[in-house]
């Protein structure tokens, strides 16, 4: 599960000028022609840097994203839900593995990435800094956060870097099952007893602001990313993805008789665009920078897991073997 | 198989319930490791095996249901602690990975042999399930064996940890083979040869791997066997586990979740 949008650093002006202009031109021509860039191909330093940053944060989001849902595996009601949730969270961990491997092809070892995660140097999707308060929260996450992730990841799978695209194609296939699981779960709650209905309504109210934040700040205030879009690192604007999400899922939410906590939310038939209350971007920034309801807990859990597992990893090391960058 | 007598039915239900409860509780415990295992690849493997265990318990509860018991969700999510027949080994919290791996090794070795024996059971429904599970257990034990041999021969810390995990788990694991009141019926009707036979085969089987792992097996005669689970006497850890497991389900057991 992942939503991009806020992960790009502002590029320093002129970075491309330091590159070999002939190679750069060929590189851009290949991308424009729809070719994939592979690990051993020449690429601008800035392209490599931004890709590592993006794929690494995506990988972190999968492993951290497994935490809020993972805590509900032991409480899932009934065999059907328990087995499905176990498989779903396992998938998320598998996505992290695929993505760390994809990022490694660009030259950064997994250990270093995980170290940057637990020291707070590297970010992950903001949405996981919110708690899954009840069982219904896990249903809403599995449906709507995974739906958002699919929109983002399907776009990114058409990008230019081969290993990342291939990982995303596989990830999207699995995410589409998560979405079905989540939807089924929400339908059962929304059409169940009054208590179940209340649970899922409350969860939707809690999760709506993080869902609106999911695709990142509005285009008006986000970092300019023309070069990254030309290089097919970033594939769609934050607002475009948010519009697509609203278009696909708001009718489905309303169909279930649930109320979305935004009185301004409606589709403007003239523009074909959704209108909504502007999300609180100050809160978004605050949470991203570490001051959300669960940031400290999430990192503490991850750090503890790393520390507790160190002896196992040490016991697997063979001093005679050297680290090599994987090729795909 | 001919029509079951009352005592045979009771014996069968008791056997199936013991196995199913072990699988459910250990599958539940092992699932607590999801996203927290020391290595990502191992996280995925451990989750797969936990899912297998929960799946096994479901299939066995379905068999109980066929024998006249309530549906699997009701059996798993509404029974009281004293009605569970799991052994103490599976109830313990996950601890560090040394404990969880050692438990996984000792338990799954016994399960692999148990299902192999049950695949020849005169009770055909159980034999069919056992044949399927046996195939899965082959991979679980291969996984456990590989880890044991690696960790038992790696660093000073890993060796010491695995030995102390074995010392802790061994008496608990002997509780898997707690004699049951229907052992004779099960064996004379060729349903299951009994816990004593299983324990003997298990000891032979773990010894091979523990030797390769350079770990010493505690003396069985002086080990304080952790009995009681099969009769409903549990450790302090089971009740909180069940409270957690049924937390959502018990909000409304009649609702569809």
Cβ atoms B22, B106 nearer than 8 A: no
B77 occurs within a structural domain: yes
B99 occurs within a structural domain: yes
For residue B230, give its domain range.
Answer: 6-217+226-251
Cβ atoms B35, B6 nearer than 8 A: no
B1 occurs within a structural domain: no
Asked which of A110-124, A252-266, A313-327, B168-182 is least confident by mean pLDDT, the reply is: A313-327
> If you average pLDDT over residues A301-307, what whole number do you get?
96
In this complex, the residue of A63, A70, A79 whose CB is nearest that of residue B58 is: A79
Chains A–B, number of C-beta pairs less than 8 Å apart: 126
Looking at beta carbons, which residues of chain A come within 8 Å of B58?
A: 79, 83
In the predicted structure, residue A195 carries a pLDDT above the cut 80: yes
A326 falls in which pLDDT band (50, 70, 90)?
confident
Contact yes or no for A82 and B157 at CB 8 A: no
Helix (H, G, I), strand (E, B) or coil at A89: helix
> If you average pLDDT over residues A299-310, what whole number do you get?
96
B44 occurs within a structural domain: yes
Cβ atoms B161, B95 nearer than 8 A: no
Looking at beta carbons, which residues of chain A come within 8 Å of B39?
A: 309, 312-313, 316
All structural domains of chain A: 29-314 (1.20.1260.10)
Contact yes or no for A86 and B34 at CB 8 A: yes
Q: Determine what percent of chain A is predicted with pLDDT higher than 90.
A: 86
B257 occurs within a structural domain: no
Looking at beta carbons, which residues of chain B come within 8 Å of A132?
A: none
Looking at beta carbons, which residues of chain B come within 8 Å of A305?
A: 35-38
Backbone angles phi, psi at A266, to 5 degrees: -165, 160
In this complex, the residue of B42, B54, B155 whose CB is nearest that of residue A86 is: B54
Q: Give, for A267, the enclosing helix (H) or strand (E).
A: strand A266-268
Closest listed residue to residue B47, CA positions, set B35, B57, B59: B35
Contact yes or no for A308 and B38 at CB 8 A: yes
B65 occurs within a structural domain: yes
> If you average pLDDT over residues B118-133, what whole number do you get?
97
A167 vs A163: CA distance, rounded Å: 6
What is the per-residue pLDDT across A103-162, written as a single tens digit (0 to 9) for each? 999 999 999 999 999 999 999 999 999 999 999 999 999 999 999 999 999 999 999 999
Asked which of A126-130, A195-199, B167-171 is least confident by mean pLDDT, the reply is: A126-130
In the predicted structure, residue B44 carries a pLDDT above the cut 70: yes
What is the per-residue pLDDT for A14?
A: 47
In the predicted structure, residue B49 carries a pLDDT above the cut 80: yes
A323 falls in which pLDDT band (50, 70, 90)?
confident
> If you average pLDDT over residues B166-190, what whole number do you get?
96
- Listed in sequence order, the residues at least 6 apart from B81 whose beta carbon sits closer than 8 Å to its beta carbon are B232, B234, B238, B239, B242
The DSSP code for A247 is H
What is the per-residue pLDDT for A12?
A: 56
Burial of B116 (0-12, 13-18, 19+ CB in 10 A): middle
Q: Determine what percent of chain A is predicted with pLDDT higher than 70.
A: 93
What is the per-residue pLDDT for A289?
A: 87
Is B109 part of the contact surface with chain A (CB cutoff 8 Å)? no
Domains: count for chain B: 1
The Cβ of residue B184 has, within 10 Å, a number of other Cβ atoms equal to 12
pLDDT, averaged across chain A? 93
| Residues forming a β-bridge with A11 | none
What is the per-residue pLDDT for A15?
A: 60
Is B160 part of the contact surface with chain A (CB cutoff 8 Å)? no
Backbone angles phi, psi at B31, to 5 degrees: -70, -20
In this complex, the residue of B32, B36, B161 whose CB is nearest that of residue A74 is: B32
In the predicted structure, residue B184 carries a pLDDT above the cut 50: yes
B38 occurs within a structural domain: yes
In the predicted structure, residue B211 carries a pLDDT above the cut 60: yes
Q: Residue B103's domain is classified under what CATH number?
A: 1.20.1260.10
ipTM value: 0.96
């Amino acid at each position: 599960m992942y939503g991009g949008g806020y992960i790009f650093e502002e590029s320093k002006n002129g970075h491309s000028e330091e590159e070999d202009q002939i190679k750069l031109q060929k590189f851009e021509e290949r991308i424009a022609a729809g070719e994939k860039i592979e690990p051993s191909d020449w690429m601008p330093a800035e392209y490599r840097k931004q890709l590592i940053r993006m794929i690494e944060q995506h990988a972190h989001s999968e492993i951290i994203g497994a935490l809020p849902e993972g805590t509900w595996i032991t409480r899932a009601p009934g065999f059907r839900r328990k087995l499905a949730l176990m498989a779903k969270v396992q998938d998320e961990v598998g996505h992290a593995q695929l993505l760390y491997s994809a990022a490694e092809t660009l030259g950064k070892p997994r250990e270093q990435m995980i170290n940057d995660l637990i020291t707070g140097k590297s970010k992950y999707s903001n949405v996981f800094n919110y708690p899954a308060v009840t069982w219904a929260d896990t249903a809403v996450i599995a449906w709507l956060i995974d739906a958002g992730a699919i929109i983002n990841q399907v776009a990114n799978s058409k990008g230019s870097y081969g290993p990342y695209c291939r990982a995303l194609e596989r990830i999207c296939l699995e995410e589409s099952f998560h979405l079905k699981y989540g939807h089924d779960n929400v339908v059962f709650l929304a059409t169940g007893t009054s208590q179940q209905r209340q649970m899922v309504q409350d969860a939707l109210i809690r999760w709506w602001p993080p869902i609106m934040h999911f695709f990142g700040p509005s285009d008006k205030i986000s970092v300019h990313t023309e070069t990254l879009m030309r290089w097919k690192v970033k594939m769609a604007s934050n607002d475009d993805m948010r519009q697509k999400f609203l278009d696909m899922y708001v009718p489905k939410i309303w169909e279930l008789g649930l109320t979305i906590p935004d009185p301004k939310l409606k589709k403007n038939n003239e523009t074909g665009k959704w209108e909504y209350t502007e999300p609180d971007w100050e809160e978004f920034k605050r949470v991203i920078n570490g001051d959300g309801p669960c940031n400290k807990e999430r990192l503490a859990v991850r750090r503890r897991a790393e520390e507790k597992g160190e002896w196992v990893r040490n016991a697997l090391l063979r001093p005679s073997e050297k680290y090599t960058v994987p090729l795909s | 198989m001919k029509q079951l007598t009352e005592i045979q039915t009771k014996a069968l239900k008791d056997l199936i319930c013991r196995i199913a409860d072990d699988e459910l509780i250990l599958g539940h415990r092992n699932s607590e490791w999801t996203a927290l295992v020391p290595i990502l690849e191992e996280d995925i493997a451990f989750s797969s095996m936990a899912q297998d265990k929960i799946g096994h318990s479901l299939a066995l509860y379905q068999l109980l249901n066929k024998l006249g018991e309530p549906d699997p969700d009701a059996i798993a999510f509404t029974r009281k602690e004293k009605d569970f027949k799991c052994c103490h080994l599976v109830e313990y919290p996950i601890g560090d990975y040394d404990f969880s791996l050692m438990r996984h090794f000792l338990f799954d070795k016994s399960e692999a042999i148990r299902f192999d024996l049950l695949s020849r059971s005169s009770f055909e429904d159980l034999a069919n399930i056992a044949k399927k599970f046996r195939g899965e257990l082959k991979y679980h034990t291969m996984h456990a064996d590989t880890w044991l041999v690696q960790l038992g021969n790696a660093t000073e810390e890993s060796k010491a940890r695995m030995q102390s995990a074995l010392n802790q788990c061994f008496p608990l694991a002997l509780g898997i083979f707690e004699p049951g009141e229907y052992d004779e019926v099960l064996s004379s009707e060729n349903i299951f040869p009994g816990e004593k036979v299983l324990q003997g085969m298990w000891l032979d089987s773990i010894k091979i791997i523990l030797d390769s792992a350079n770990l010493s097996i505690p003396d069985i005669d002086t080990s304080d066997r952790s009995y009681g689970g099969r009769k409903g006497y549990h450790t302090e850890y089971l009740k909180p586990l069940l409270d957690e497991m049924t937390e959502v389900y018990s909000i409304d057991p009649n609702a569809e979740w």
